[in-house]
Structure 1
Amino acid sequence: MNNRGEQLEKHEVLKAKLMAVLNEIEDKTERDVAIQVLSKVWDAASNMERYIQYGFTINERYEIFGGSWGKLIPKNFTDLTMCITDGTDKTTAIETFLTMEEILANPPQKEVLLDVDPTKKSERFNSVINFSNFLLHVLRVCSRKDIPLDDKRLLEQFETYILKSGDAISATKSFIFALLKVKYLFDHYIIKREFTDRGDHWSLKRLKCYNQNSQSYINTFDEDAEDGFEGNNRRILMLLSAFHVSTPTLVYKHWLNGALSILYEMTDINAGDYLAKLEHLARQFVYGRFLSVDPPAEYYPMIYENSSYAPINRVHPKVLERLKFSHIENNLVFNYLDYLIWCNAMDKDNGQKDKGNCQKDEVIKQFEYSFRSSVEHFYPQHPIDGHPKLDECYLHRFGNLCLISHSKNSRLSNLQPRAKRDHFQAAIRDRKIDTLKLYKMIKLMDENGQWYVDEIAQHEADMLQLFVTDSAK
């Protein structure tokens, strides 16, 4: 708590502790510059819903991010100090030789950046994570240590790996540069929820400066296919959103740590390589952990030691058991399957386009992930109106399961498959559906005229074949 009676958040306490470390630098000029850089980077990075460039003055943006604000110029903390001191439009008073108690009692106020474009409102984007948890991701990525991704342990982890390290000053400087780098990567290569006049949707965009008076958000990749449904930008967006809706909590967001680790280690980030590495990460999670017949792999070795996974055996009893109702460990099993369905349909359509015969299924093409976390039995567990009960050996099979929202599950749970289909027809006509697996089930029922044991077995075989083919890659 500071002297104004305000309860400080953990990340504010951590900032004060890091400033206290830099306060130990003996040379006054070096000390002042180091504290100034820490304060600027921290304040710029702490707003997770604003692109980091807007946390600096205009001159600093050009120094740090280049002419179009699309490249991280400095390579380390020393380079960064030159960008800040050379690019600063105004001076900032820095108090030095403060005690830890004084810093905590009077935390530095954020600098007001008078030249920030006031039309750039942070409310346009929502981040998939908050700042306190993001700090742990940065620490894990730059240290490559098995750090718990839970901000309840924020101060404890920084005490261990930064504040009480052999050279706390160097460790602090290295971390501050890593914070700048990872936030820049996060802003440009990790999805956000974007709110526009047309509604809200997932976006994968970077900030581009054309001149001092003109900047805009454009696709990170495939710049010419703005808001389209094809290309690698869309594929990366789809896979990242599949990851996120499967683990929407702020803590232990391992997919995000994996993605940031990939980006942090890449010297030249291009869409093809990034997508391939993300798909490999998804396969590690799904086949190396959630559907593994061996002891499931832990997240740290999957991300940092590239632990392997075995191809799926579609008839292995353990695989079938792990796909039954109440045995599915993580909804990424469903959501990654939807990603495979979407990719297969898009690849097939592109192949037909090459032959001059393109008939896209617009429901699949325009599919967007949403937060659906309730596992629904398409043929109900407790049928009403005299309909027969289904034997449990079919009822709980993967072929009879799909994801929908909790509210829809409550309303539709005991209805027959045809009635459930009728409920979703309006959305399908509007080219929308909760999940693509559900869409495939509805289409199969329409083709066969019913949904019973044969359809459950057929659909399950089709879906498992997608896993088998993908896991062999």
Structure 2
Amino acid sequence: MDIVNSELYDIKSIIQKDFRYNIPRYQRLYVWKEEQVNTLFHDILIACKANKDIYYIGGIITVKYQKIENCFDLVDGQQRFTTLWLLANELGESIKDFTRTVNGLRLNFSIRKNVEMYFNQLLSGSESIENDTEFDDLVRLSKARKIIGALITENLQSKELKNKYIYFLLQKVKMVITEVPPSTDLNKLFETLNNRGIQLAQHEILKTHFLSKIGNSKKRYRYGILWNACSDMNNYIERSLTYETGYARGVANTYDQWVHDWKQIENILIDEKAKAEKLTLQDIIGKRKNWDEAVYGDEEPDFEEMHPNATDDELEPVRSILTFPQLLLHTLRVYLHRNQRIDIQRINEKELLHIYSEYFFLKNQNDYESRREEDETESIAFMDLLFKMREAFDKYIIKWVEVNDMTEIHLIKKVYKQNQKKKGWFYYLRRQKTQELDGFAMLQSILYHSQQNTTQYWLTPFLNWLLEFPSFDDAFAWLKVLDNILFSSMQEGRELIDRTKECMDGYPDIEPTTKVLTEALGTSFPHYWFYKLEFVLWHERVKFNKSEEWKEYRITAKNSVEHISPQSPRNSKDKLCDTQLHNFGNLALVTRSINSEYSDFPYGVKKAKFEDKKSKGTFDSLKSDIIYQYPIWNDKLALNHQSEMINLLQEYFEKTKRKY
């Protein structure tokens, strides 16, 4: 009888057993993108710093590979396994043993010999394979390797932390490896894997826990609707409420003075006429009418996009910068702060249930009735706060907005309550672009791109403050203050989560400083300062006579520090900077592709490349635009540029200082 065997493994045990793994011919190429690689690296780093006993990265399914002893086909899990291989290769040292066995590569590829050759080249320290005509197969692998290299450089600078990370990766990162028998029908197994239901998410389990505390079934139903609307992060809250209630006008009528009246929404849900009917896809398609049909027919339209003045930009797809579990953790921090309780230690959505059980739910109470009553009160209070947090998030915080098939940008769209007369007045809520919020959105973009995308700790104190629903001008002014306190000041040795907690207590009187910009850090410069300067340059663009030229500039993800005067030029005479080579004045933050394009070319060639892109409306960076205005480049100009940028930042700090 064939047996399915599952065991818990770590990388060290795989090395000790000398297991080898094969990517079979039916597997797709490596497809992980920067976000997924970033998430895996940082999740492991967070668990490592927290000294967790175990970090579980999921299950791997294998089947014995008959041609090679001690070798297994990877049926499921090859993306994670390949990323772990690349991570081990970049880290080197003792973890390097994971990349190879006594008989060759730890990871083999049945039909992709160019990939196997690439891996061997990596082990030997060469990458000449990247110039091969089959490089298309290797694009994502090469990008992932470079991303991992940059993550290690940026986050594991001390030898002590790097060794700790390697030890944690070797012995604490666990995976359940399930070996299925060779006789398994792999076609059926793949069909099962591809069609399996999505595992119940932690936030859905949490929802059940909260709702179970509410005794009244009608109230429980209404808060279930509220939770569902809040959890739909890739839509605006008013649309989510419309889809949940089936009553667009009723939702619009609850909106006044920037916020929805939850009590009125509860009344909508009580109204039997307002309950959403269950429709098939064909029903929905059949019910869609254009506005003329609705106006002149008997039916009234129920969706805001059908308003006669609706514009195309209202229908652009949007994507949240946070997941719903992340929003739940930010909400928990605000709830704990407002109830004078101890703050959580970290934001990690994979530990959502564990964190809530540790910090929120009441424990060690003997009186069941008292506990039940308190749990219900607390659960309702929390969900009321969650709704307000979600409203503030949608009102003030950037979203990814898809402006065309190839481009997403950060935008804040204002909500408008617009009326229309037909059988009496009724209202629709609409989201529209407005240039008046471009600066507010850009400041948030630099924080988003310069901070870990799985935490975004700055949002907790900012959202806590936004719950009073201030004007956009006041919100923008406060974000400038918060940014200066958290990221432009010298607070070494203090965890960011602790500093954000302090800001919720009352915004400490901490002065920003540009001291770090006088150091010769080269590629080790914190990326934050380049992003910050981009915002300040845009904010003060009138000073540089760039009011119109820079007006449409947007902050995008950049991850590579480039030397304007190259470190190792092709010709020694092209090395224009010596004393300022690694100083802030000779550096710019660009994308890896642009850094690779500029490579070790001399200043004149880089300037020509920059100006060619600029003529087409594209900027590497605004800092680069300031630099490439000079016909030549040298130590003196680099030092002058650095001084000018530092003075600009100091003037900005003075201008944005708290006035009270």
TM-score for the superposition, normalised by structure 1: 0.76
Amino acid at match of 1:342: W
How far did 1:247 drift? Answer: 2.4
Does 2:489 match 1:288? yes
SS in 1 for 2:356: helix
In the alignment, is the contact (CA less than 8 A) between 1:65 and 1:71 conserved in 2?
Answer: no
Find the counterpart in structure 1 of residue 637 from structure 2.
455
Specify the alignment match of 2:208 in structure 1.
16
Aligned match of 1:74: 261
Measured after TM superposition, the shift of residue 286 of structure 1 is: 2.7
Rounded Cα–Cα distance in structure 2 between residues aligned with 1:87 and 1:262: 37
With over 3 angstroms needed to count, the CA separation of the structure-2 counterparts of 1:319 and 1:400, relative to structure 1, is: closer
Give, in angstroms, the shift of residue 252 of structure 1.
1.6
Instruction: Evaluate the alpha carbon distance shift between residue 88 and residue 130 of structure 1 in structure 2; reply closer, same or farther with a 3 A threshold.
Output: farther
CA RMSD after TM alignment: 3.3
Aligned twin of 1:324: 521
Question: Cα distance 1:180–1:63, how it changes in 2: closer, same or farther (>3 A)?
Answer: farther
After the TM superposition, which residues 194-213 of structure 1 pair with which residues of structure 2 at under 5 Å, given as runs? 194-197=401-404, 200-211=408-419
Percent identity at matched positions? Answer: 23
1:338 aligns with 2:338: no
Cα distance in structure 1, aligned partners of 2:395 and 2:265:
20
Distance 2:260 2:213 in 1: 26
- Equivalent residues in 2 for 1:39-438 (5 A)? 39-57=224-242, 66=253, 71-74=258-261, 81-82=266-267, 84-86=269-271, 89-90=274-275, 117=303, 124-144=317-337, 145-147=342-344, 148-164=346-362, 167-197=374-404, 200-211=408-419, 215-219=429-433, 226=434, 228=435, 231=436, 233-247=437-451, 249=453, 251-264=454-467, 266=468, 268-289=469-490, 298-305=498-505, 306-312=507-513, 320-321=518-519, 324-329=521-526, 331-346=527-542, 348=543, 360-389=546-575, 393-438=579-624
Could you tell me how far 1:127 is from its partner in structure 2?
1.2
SS in 2 for 1:56: helix
2:258 corresponds to which letter in structure 1?
K
Measured against aligned partners, the alpha-carbon deviations of 1:72-130 in whole angstroms (never above 9, x if no partner) come to 2437xx7764453258612899xxxxxxxxxxxxxxxxxx9998639699861121111
Q: Indicate how the Cα distance of structure 1 residues 80 and 215 shifts in structure 2: closer, same or farther if over 3 A, else same.
A: closer
Q: What is the deviation of 1:142?
A: 2.7
1:307 Cα deviation after fit: 2.2
- What does the per-residue CA deviation read over 1:386-435, in whole Å, with 9 as the maximum and x for residues that have no partner? 43546664211011111100111122121122211211213212333132
Question: Quick one: distance in 2 between partners of 1:154 and 1:296?
Answer: 20
User: Residues 183 and 170 from structure 1, CA distance in 2 versus in 1: closer, same or farther, beyond 3 angstroms?
Assistant: same
**1:60–1:87: 8 Å Cα contact kept in structure 2?**
no
CA distance in structure 2 between the partners assigned to 1:258 and 1:325 by the alignment: 32
Give the distance between the partners of 2:602 and 2:502, measured in 1 at CA: 41
- Give the CA deviation at 1:201: 2.8
Q: Distance in 2 between matches of 1:153 and 1:408?
A: 37
Tell me the distance in 2 between the aligned counterparts of 1:67 and 1:6. Answer: 35
> In proportion to residue count, which structure has more strand?
2
Gapped regions of structure 2 (runs ≥ 5): 1-195, 288-300, 307-313, 364-370, 420-425
Matching residue's letter, 1:458: N
Paired letter, 1:328: F
- Structure 1 residues 259, 35: closer, same or farther in 2, change over 3 A? same
The 1-side partners of 2:578 and 2:327 are apart by: 44
Task: Give the counterpart letter for 1:273 in structure 2.
Answer: D
Q: CA deviation at 1:65?
A: 5.5
- Cα distance change of structure 1 residues 420 and 15 upon mapping to structure 2, 3 Å threshold: same
Match of 1:352 in 2: none
Mean CA deviation greater in 275-284 or 376-385: 376-385
Is contact 1:341–1:436 with CA below 8 Å preserved after alignment? yes
In the alignment, is the contact (CA less than 8 A) between 2:558 and 2:591 conserved in 1?
A: yes
Q: Which amino acid aligns with 1:203?
A: L
SS of the residue 2:540 aligns to: helix
Bigger mean CA offset, 66-75 vs 398-407: 66-75
**Counterpart position of 1:103:** none
> Does residue 467 of structure 1 match 2:660?
no
> C-alpha distance in 1, partners of 2:329/2:315?
23
CA drift of 1:368 comes to 0.7
- Corresponding letter in the other structure for 2:461: G
Distance 1:238 1:185 in 2: 18
Preserved CA contact (<8 Å) 1:282 1:336 = no
Q: Which has the larger radius of gyration?
A: 2
Matches of 1:9 and 1:392 in 2, distance apart?
Answer: 55
Deviation sequence 1:424-462 (CA, Å, 0-9, x none):
21321233313211111112x2xxx31110111011101
Q: How many residues align?
A: 409
How far has the Cα of 1:6 moved from its partner? 4.5
Highest RCO, 1 vs 2 (Cα 8 Å, sep ≥ 6) = 1
Output the CA distance in 2 between the equivalents of 1:44 and 1:86.
Answer: 18
User: In the alignment, is the contact (CA less than 8 A) between 1:242 and 1:369 conserved in 2?
Assistant: yes
How far residue 237 of structure 1 moved from its aligned partner, in angstroms, is 1.3
CA distance in 2 between partners of 1:189 and 1:237 (Å):
9
Match of 1:100 in 2: none
Distance 1:254 1:88 in 2: 42
Q: Which amino acid aligns with 2:584?
A: F
Specify the SS of the correspondent of 1:365.
Answer: coil
Structure 1 distance, partners of 2:327, 2:204, is 14
Unaligned segments of structure 1, at least 5 residues:
26-30, 94-111, 220-225, 350-358
Which secondary structure does the structure 1 equivalent of 2:360 belong to?
A: helix
SS at match of 1:126: strand
Name the amino acid aligned to 1:241.
S
Structure 1 CA distance, aligned partners of 2:493 and 2:621?
29
**Deviation of 1:303 (Å):** 2.8
Deviations 1:275-333 (A, max 9, x none): 110000111123224xx589787432453131232243x6x5x6523x7224434x221
Q: 1:201 to 1:252 in 2, by over 3 A?
A: closer
Letter in 2 for 1:304: M
